[in-house]
Chain A
Amino acid sequence: MGPDRRKRHNRLTMSEEDPGRATTAREPRHAALGLGGEQLRTMFRHLVLARALDRRMWVLNRQGRAPFVISGQGHEAAQVGAAAAMRPGVDWLAPYYRDLAFCIALGMTAGEFMMAVFARAADPASGGRQMPSHFGLRRARILTTSSTVATQVLHAVGVAYASRVRGLDEVAVASLGEGATSKGDWHEAMNFAGVHRLPFVCIVQDNDYAISVPHRLQMGVDSAAERATGYGMAGATVDGGDLMAVYAATKEAVDRARSGGGPSLICAKVARFTSHSSDDDQRRYRPREELEALLRRDPIERFRNYLADEGLLSEEEDEAVQRECAADVEDAVGAAEAAAHPEAGDLLRHVFAGEG
């Protein structure tokens, strides 16, 4: 049964790509989606910056300068595409630990991220208390997150309920991996959102693996989005390597949520380039051919090619973005490494209010 399911999954992914190509023949896809060149170049910059930060933190880890890293390489286009459909600082994100590019796109800076990698006091997510990539940024409405998975989906649903009760038009987005959809909290969240038709969008980033456990041992369907009907909401499965496909699906979902049309479930099929974390080695459980094929599916490369083909990004502009992002990363690393460590004496602060 397993191999059959895989085939159906592949067909599903292919069929998602075809309409896009058809559109390209008539007018550029981005134009049909209402996206302008400047916006696309900003997205490209976010992709490049996220990837550069991500790569750099692995180097820092291997150099012994960062004790733990966990990353989102291969997921970036899905995240930046989804973020572009949200209003930064108005709509909410309950993220998970692979959402580096998502958070960059919503306003987190390279400097802020590196403070967390080095566990410095100035880390805005946690003051160096949490492992890196446990995001949280109040001004960008990125909720504080834990290491447990799926708990944050309920928080996003609660945020959406509060928005509704308070008469606000904010939309709450929850992001998680496909493994987390096996948890009860995910079901409880989806059910609650469906009952109340809340302004809520759930984005599952399905990279085929929960640490080492493959998709076929995680669920009995090809895409978690197939469950949407069961929760009384709209569902869509998209190629998460295709930024504009994710943007289109998220835009539709966010617009529906904002206009009172209820919640949505999006499953973006993505590739996990790295091991689960710096404490994992995926070569132990993924075949070499699979990993080699994976790296040919780079979503950033794909988006860059699109921009180049459409005449929206010259080689010089591309190089400038790479150079600027590399400089941003260097500045961020330098600033973070020079920044103050948290004080041991602050261990007892912030257990309760008034203990700050």
Chain B
Amino acid sequence: MAVRTLIEGVREALAEEMERDDRVWVLGEDVGRKGGVFLATEGLHARFGDARVLDTPLAESGIVGVAIGAALNGLIPVAEIQFADFIHPAFDQLVSEAARIRYRSNGEWSCPIVVRAPFGGGVHGGLYHSQSVEAFYAHVPGLKVVIPSTPEDAKGLLKSAIRDPDPVMFFEHKKAYRLIKGEVPDGEYVTPIGPAAVRREGRHLTCVAWGLMVHHCLEAAETAAAEGISAEVIDLRTLQPLDRDTILRSVEKTSRAMVVHEDNLTGGFGAEVAAVIAGEGFAYLDAPVTRVAGPDVPAMPFNHAQEEAFLPNPARIADAMRRLRAY
């Protein structure tokens, strides 16, 4: 086992999949010689050449639309959207086209593309380099939504995404890229899309999160443990499909649940998790499901004070754990 950063996990997955299957095609803005603005694709251009690692024009709908067409003619495109904040022009291609191609053709056509995008804040990215967009896409049947929180999963889940026969949105937390390090298995492995991971076992409450928030929850759980509160932390890993069983099994044990996400509160994916718990685990509950999320402001400010005030952090999460335990 070697220690890797999360972005190294992404890079290794891309390189190994391109090596394994010459249909895999990386495209996006600056992914070629520069290796991407975060260097996720560093080294790929030198190794696989112009045709398979393509610097595209600066046009997000074009990137996704061309990827869809290439997939219809036998390639396996892995498109990078430079920042999740800039993905909105491609919404039509993703929702009206990629997500519906199998369904609307009654199974005649399929659209095996992966769209990778760095998301999330805490890096002084301001309103347009900090956003969490997962809820938009988790709402769309026909798209899978994957968000790894560890280097091992970044690599294993991206490999699964590339081998998946359907479109996969693959969101990578940009603050986690180099902050989060961990062991990555040697040799070939994949991590299946679907199952959540219990990152910490606990008895008193269930804390559900994804992306960087998983690590904040683990830190908060450590603080809470010192006060006698035993929190179970679930890393969803994939929002669509959602692993209801793992969530409900945990809530059955703990009787208390909270969801933590960086996206703003209203209509965030936490609402769906809360609804699943309320709808299918009502009898287990001893307290209302709690949500810890960004505030309902349009986006995350650039200045330090307001950025920090926006983001859920271990202290806020630990507070929520105390209140939930005491309810």
Chain A positions within 8 Å of B, measured between CB atoms, are 92, 94, 123-130, 134, 136, 138, 143-144, 146, 148, 151, 153-166, 170, 172, 184-185, 188-189, 191-192, 195, 349-353, 356
B66 at the interface (CB under 8 A from A): yes
Q: Could you give, for residues 48-72 of chain B, a 1 whenever the CB lies within 8 Å of some chain A CB and a 0 otherwise?
A: 0001100011010110111111111
Q: Which residues in chain B, 63-116, are within 8 Å of chain A measured between CB atoms? A: 64-75, 77, 89, 92-93, 96-97, 100-110
User: Within the complex, what minimum Cβ distance (angstroms) separates B272 from chain A?
Assistant: 17
In angstroms, Cα B101 to Cα A356, docked, is 14
Some 21 contacts from A to B, beta carbons below 8 A apart, are A129-B103, A129-B104, A134-B104, A144-B109, A155-B65, A155-B69, A155-B72, A156-B69, A158-B77, A159-B69, A159-B72, A159-B73, A161-B75, A163-B73, A165-B52, A165-B70, A172-B73, A189-B66, A192-B57, A349-B107, A353-B102
Q: Quick check: A161 and B57 within 8 Å, CB to CB?
A: no
B165 at the interface (CB under 8 A from A): yes
Q: Quick check: A126 and B105 within 8 Å, CB to CB?
A: yes
Known: A158-B66, A188-B59. A136 touches B73 (CB 8 A): no
Can you name the residue of chain A whose Cβ is closest to the Cβ of B66?
A158
B141 at the interface (CB under 8 A from A): yes
Using Cβ atoms and an 8 Å threshold, which residues of chain B touch A163?
73
In angstroms, Cα B110 to Cα A128, docked, is 17
Q: Quick check: A351 and B141 within 8 Å, CB to CB?
A: yes
11 additional contacts (CB under 8 A) given A162-B72, A184-B89: A126-B105, A143-B72, A154-B66, A155-B66, A156-B69, A158-B66, A162-B73, A185-B92, A189-B65, A192-B57, A350-B103
User: Within the complex, what minimum Cβ distance (angstroms) separates A190 from chain B?
Assistant: 10
Q: Quick check: B61 and A185 within 8 Å, CB to CB?
A: yes
Using Cβ atoms and an 8 Å threshold, which residues of chain A touch B72?
143, 155, 158-159, 162
Known: A154-B61, A154-B93. A351 touches B103 (CB 8 A): yes
Which of B73, B92, B101, B144 sits near A158, CB closer than 8 Å? B73
Q: Quick check: B25 and A184 within 8 Å, CB to CB?
A: no
Using Cβ atoms and an 8 Å threshold, which residues of chain B touch A353?
102, 110, 165-166
Known: A144-B109, A155-B68, A192-B56. A352 touches B142 (CB 8 A): yes
In angstroms, Cα B108 to Cα A350, docked, is 9
Using Cβ atoms and an 8 Å threshold, which residues of chain B touch A156?
69
Using Cβ atoms and an 8 Å threshold, which residues of chain A touch B89?
184
Using Cβ atoms and an 8 Å threshold, which residues of chain A touch B107?
127, 349-350, 356
Known: A161-B69, A188-B61. A144 touches B93 (CB 8 A): no
Using Cβ atoms and an 8 Å threshold, which residues of chain B touch A191?
57, 59, 62
Using Cβ atoms and an 8 Å threshold, which residues of chain A touch B51?
164-165
In angstroms, Cα B56 to Cα A52, docked, is 45
The winner among B77, B97, B104, B144 for most chain A CB atoms within 10 A is B104
Known: A129-B104, A349-B107, A352-B166. A188 touches B65 (CB 8 A): yes
Q: Quick check: A192 and B62 within 8 Å, CB to CB?
A: yes
Using Cβ atoms and an 8 Å threshold, which residues of chain A touch B67?
158
Q: Quick check: A126 and B62 within 8 Å, CB to CB?
A: no
In angstroms, Cα B72 to Cα A172, docked, is 12
Q: Quick check: B93 and A126 within 8 Å, CB to CB?
A: no
Using Cβ atoms and an 8 Å threshold, which residues of chain A touch B59?
184, 188, 191-192
The winner among B52, B59, B109 for most chain A CB atoms within 10 A is B59
Using Cβ atoms and an 8 Å threshold, which residues of chain B touch A162?
69-70, 72-75
User: Within the complex, what minimum Cβ distance (angstroms) separates B104 from chain A?
Assistant: 5
Which of B65, B73, B104, B144 sits near A126, CB closer than 8 Å? B104
Q: Could you give, for residues 180-210 of chain B, a 1 whenever the CB lies within 8 Å of some chain A CB and a 0 otherwise?
A: 0000000000000000000000000000000
In angstroms, Cα B109 to Cα A125, docked, is 10
Which of B62, B75, B100, B105 sits near A188, CB closer than 8 Å? B62
User: Within the complex, what minimum Cβ distance (angstroms) separates A165 from chain B?
Assistant: 5
Q: Quick check: A189 and B62 within 8 Å, CB to CB?
A: yes
Q: Quick check: A157 and B66 within 8 Å, CB to CB?
A: yes
User: Within the complex, what minimum Cβ distance (angstroms) separates B198 from chain A?
Assistant: 25
In angstroms, Cα B101 to Cα A126, docked, is 10
Which of A92, A159, A189, A352 sits near B102, CB closer than 8 Å? A352
Can you name the residue of chain A whose Cβ is closest to the Cβ of B100?
A146
In angstroms, Cα B166 to Cα A170, docked, is 25
In angstroms, Cα B304 to Cα A165, docked, is 47
- Which 10 pairs of residues, A with B, have the shortest CB-CB distance? A158-B69, A154-B65, A127-B106, A188-B62, A155-B69, A162-B73, A158-B70, A353-B165, A158-B66, A144-B105
